[in-house]
A and B are shown apart, each in its own frame.
Chain A
Amino acid sequence: MTFVAPPPAPARDPSDQTPSDHAQTDQPLTDRSGSDLTLSSDEVLRIRNDFPVLHQLVNGHPLAYLDSGATSQNPISVMEAEQEYYEQRNAAVHRGAHTLAFAATEVFEAARATVAAFVGAAENEIVWTSNATEGVNLVSYAFSNASLGLGGPAATRFRLGTGDEIVVTEMEHHSNLIPWQQLALRTGATLRFIPVRADGTLDMTAAGEILNPRTRLLAVTHASNVVGTINPIDDLVAMAHAVDALVFLDACQSAPHLALDLTALGVDFAVFSGHKMLGPTGIGVLYGKAELLAAMPPFLTGGSMITTVDMQGAEFLAPPQRFEAGTQRISQAIALASAVDYLSHTGMHRIRTREAELGRRLVEGVTAIPGVRLLGPGLGVERIGLAAVDVAGVHAHDVGQFLDEAGIAVRVGHHCAQPLHKKLGVTASTRASTYLYTTDDEVDRFLAVLAEVAPFFGVSR
């Protein structure tokens, strides 16, 4: 039997009776939208037809899904890509001499190439992980292993000890904080942090003092999952590299929402997760500069990452395989590549512009409601399409319950950023976060119901 590879992108027959023809055509979407700057409201409605989960009633109201910052929804094409893999090509990758194994390896590596191109990286700079958190741990444990002497002279760059400093920021998600806390504890290095100012932006003056020749690594988020700001990564990279420190970027909230070019940004490492960018759960991406990955000792070891093995030791494969021990997340990687195709097809610049509009709409709306405090900067500072708020006198959990009753899904709590909430003087907040399928009407519904919260709970109006 000969394996015939179907065309890579649209898996469906265009003549199918499908809700939308989005992402099934070679016609750029710009030709239909009438504007190449943002997504028109008609286009957003067409996009929504590709997301079955959005079309349901919750508590008797149409679902307004405003929690994409936590996890995004999957278009049909992504689910089909995963199904198509299992129906037609499921096999072990990078081993076996049969046709199906070759086909599986081919689509798996093609997925890597797609994701690499999406973030301006080379294919050997993209390592698959289970999620972004695992990527942070992979690098922190590689540093640990180097500090124990593994990796030989090539790994000197990653060796930490007493007197060395790891710098994070006060706005990090716990996933980009705790692995570094633990690395400091394991190696004797000191953990320092760049403070956040009252308006939710990084204190760059302090950053200039904190980054010093003892700094070996700066771990920083590209965009905040709470205050929505986009950090000045160009400046931070220049400052960190000036003192010979490596830069680790948390791109979980940027890769889904803006055109990301990691090579141009100049960061040394980056992570992002598939499920926040229309992909499935169980897949994340670690980016590392080729020369750094080549010098770095592995974290997880075992099958699929070695060249030769004897009873006393092993030689490892070159990156990225060196960091991909065990059976890989093949279907998830393929589905993530399909998600990336969907995003690229729509246009990341247009998605960024559209979400900035939604972010502005949110900011204007929430700041007009008495007793509602916006966390982070107000108008005039670009944000990704999210806004976290504190409703005076009403706990976030109650706010979320009230919104849910109206079919509006938001995130409540500390959003895995307790230190930042503490800095901003609250224990929890309510966050609405948007994506390319979010309508103005959904934002307006959120704002209208949010305005009813304080009166219902009998506090200041």
Chain B
Amino acid sequence: MTSSAMQQLYQQIILDHAKSANGAVAELAALDADAATAASAAGVRLAQSHQVNTTCGDEITVRVGLSGTGADARIDEFAWRGAGCSISMASASVLNDTVRGTTVAESEAMLDLFREMLRSRGTIEPDEEVLGDAAAFAGVSKYPARVKCAMLPWVAFEAALLQLAEPA
């Protein structure tokens, strides 16, 4: 009975990402002073954020490591660990592929595009050239209850970046 609506929502790209879970790690301990110091010695600034979707209990921890400063600041390290539905897990995997190695400014621009698409209730036709696999989440925007699932990793990423924000 599998409907086309379900196939629209759960596109093969999403189901594949939910399985491959790119960037997922088995353990992600709380960031302690030792880890931060070691990273700092290697020229990387680390931050981590844990987010929970209270409606369903999904949770995710995202760790970001930045090298360089100012306009050159680049996402050099990215890791996540989470438990949740296929939408949130696939979104974390796509986030990994999207922002790893990009500059902070580039990743923030992607974040804005992704959020805008998800809040559009299906009215924004995504540009696959720009968004890549993240465009597959356009179908999610028609399901307001699931937008939170898709946003969860990105919100964690955003919160981690915020911790590393340089004073203007």
Contacts and interface: CB of A to CB of B under 8 A. Distances in A.
Contacts of B6: 401-402, 405, 456
A413 B86 contact: no
Given A395-B85, A401-B143, A401-B146, A412 B56 contact: yes
A99 interface: no
Interface string A40-65: 00000000000000000001000000
Interface string B136-168: 000000010010010000000000000000000
Interface string A426-451: 01100000000000000000001100
Between A59, A396, A398, the greatest number of chain B beta carbons within 10 A of the residue's beta carbon is seen for: A398
Contacts of A394: 86
A418 B57 contact: yes
B1 A428 contact: no
Nearest to B53: A397
A59 B89 CA distance: 26
Contact of B56 (A406, A413, A457): A413
A405 B139 CA distance: 14
A414 interface: yes
Contacts, number: 53
A452 interface: yes
B9 A458 contact: no
A395 B15 contact: no
Contacts of B149: 397
A452 B6 CA distance: 12
A59 B5 contact: yes
Contacts of A405: 3, 5-6
Interface string A124-147: 000000000000000000000000
A398 B85 contact: yes
Nearest to B7: A456
Contacts of A456: 2, 6, 10
Nearest to A421: B57
B15 A397 contact: no
B85 A406 contact: no
B58 interface: yes
Interface residues of B, number: 22
A362 B2 CA distance: 22
Contacts of A458: 15, 19
B23 interface: no
A402 B6 CA distance: 7
B99 interface: no
Contacts of A406: 1, 3
Nearest to A399: B85
Contacts of B19: 458
Contact of B58 (A59, A397, A402, A449): A397
A59 B9 CA distance: 14
Interface of B: 1-3, 5-6, 9-10, 15, 19, 55-58, 83-87, 89, 143, 146, 149
Interface of A: 59, 394-398, 401-402, 405-406, 412-414, 418, 427-428, 448-449, 452, 456-458
6 contacts: A395-B58, A395-B85, A395-B89, A401-B146, A427-B57, A452-B2
Given A395-B84, A413-B57, A458-B19, 12 more contacts: A395-B58, A397-B84, A398-B85, A398-B87, A401-B143, A413-B56, A418-B57, A427-B83, A428-B56, A428-B57, A456-B10, A457-B15
